[in-house]
Amino acid sequence: MIIHKIPVITKNHSYDIYLGNNIFNKFEYKFYPFQTGDRCILVTNQTIFKIWKKKILQYFSNHQITVDTFILADGENHKTLYSINLLLTFLLEKLHDRRSILIAFGGGVIGDITGFAASIYQRGIRFVQLPTTFLSQVDAAIGGKTGVNHELGKNMIGTFWQPESVITNIEFLNTLPYQQLISGLAEVIKYAISFDYMFFEWLEKNIKKILSLDPITILYCIQKCCKIKSKIVNLDEHEKGCRLFLNLGHTYGHAIEAYFKYTNWLHGEAVAIGMVMSIYTSQILGIISFHDGKRMISLIKNADLPIYAPRNMSPKCYLSYMMRDKKSHSGKIKLIIPSAIGKVKILKDVNQNIIFSAIQKCLN
């Protein structure tokens, strides 16, 4: 068993990403920050817990770590202040204190809720990310973004609160539904389009191996994404500079998620459509070449991700959500768009007609 360690270094708090396959099979290996006698709270959903509870609980039992389990409802539509209140009430009822450790055992929704609760419970307690989805392993579990959704906008309520560690076990992907796998691929493609031409070329050649869960290919892919995300977070923890570039496709995509009340579209699916809209925005403005844009859209399509906008959402429906986006300022829409394969730029105060035209080109 080989465990890779990828450091995430920030000004006030640094930690490691542990990455490997079947890494809970060696029960004598103890991950930081767990110590014998710790009290932990495993936050998960029924689907994940039903499949993996025996192995995970056995691991903690072997290290004499006490674990309470809190089960949340599954789905993005449950990433709300109501769920946060349920979790906080559970912590108080079980008499958890500042030494307790929250464990986010699930995908991005579980990670965001758990991290947010950790950041506000008794003014801040430790938490660990134990991501089980492809999207959370390559992106959401890294970097300390926490929060919940509001009906008027995604991730509008939250904090930056870094975990003590991220423990990424690719074995969890073996039980992941195919739709969730390709949802995570959207974030992988985002990294390649935004930061790394050679990684983009590698994805063009290896996309089918990823979809078939080839272990060596998956391990390399996750490790590559973790290194890119770590580097960005190291430079800009609170998203005031280059970390904004990680939002390629998200302003359009978040509008789709919010419009459908976080039920019809997985996050990665909405981001995939948002990336296509961002590509068209760049083409309309004459920034990116037709050839590069075509390659980007082809890669998204070959990953089995959607490239067409929802038919029952008109271009005007996007605007109110996009103006509330966290990157926007004083009602002026700010977008991240690709300028070439491996490069992105920020557009400030994008003309609404340009946005309408980009969305229109995505309507099949």
CA distance 21 to 24: 8
Rounded to 5 degrees, what angle do the CA atoms 206, 212, 218 make? Answer: 60
Examine the residue annotation and report whether 295 is marked as an active-site residue of this protein: no
Examine the residue annotation and report whether 254 is marked as an active-site residue of this protein: yes
Examine the residue annotation and report whether 13 is marked as an active-site residue of this protein: no
Binding-site positions for NAD(+): 74-79, 108-112, 132-133, 145, 154, 172-175
Catalytic residue among 247, 257, 269, 334: 247
Catalytic residue among 96, 126, 190, 267: 267
Examine the residue annotation and report whether 250 is marked as an active-site residue of this protein: yes
Q: What are phi and psi of 14, to 5 degrees?
A: -120, 155
Examine the residue annotation and report whether 229 is marked as an active-site residue of this protein: yes
Other CB atoms closer than 10 Å to residue 331's CB: what's the count?
Answer: 8
Catalytic residue among 54, 123, 205, 311: 123
Cβ atoms 251, 336 nearer than 8 A: yes
Strands 15-20 and 4-8: antiparallel
Catalytic residue among 164, 243, 257, 334: 243
Examine the residue annotation and report whether 329 is marked as an active-site residue of this protein: no
Catalytic residue among 126, 190, 224, 229: 229
DSSP 74: P
Examine the residue annotation and report whether 149 is marked as an active-site residue of this protein: no
Catalytic residue among 96, 254, 257, 334: 254
Catalytic residue among 126, 224, 250, 334: 250
Examine the residue annotation and report whether 145 is marked as an active-site residue of this protein: yes
Tokens of 328: 């926007």
Examine the residue annotation and report whether 63 is marked as an active-site residue of this protein: no
Binding-site positions: 74-79, 108-112, 132-133, 145, 154, 172-175, 187, 250, 267
Examine the residue annotation and report whether 96 is marked as an active-site residue of this protein: no
Binding-site positions for Zn(2+): 187, 250, 267
Q: What are phi and psi of 107, to 5 degrees?
A: -90, -155
DSSP 115: H
Cβ atoms 280, 307 nearer than 8 A: no
Contacts with 133 (C-beta within 8 Å, 6 or more apart), sequence order = 106, 107, 108, 172, 173, 176, 180, 183, 184
As annotated, the active-site residues are 123, 145, 187, 229, 239, 243, 247, 250, 254, 267
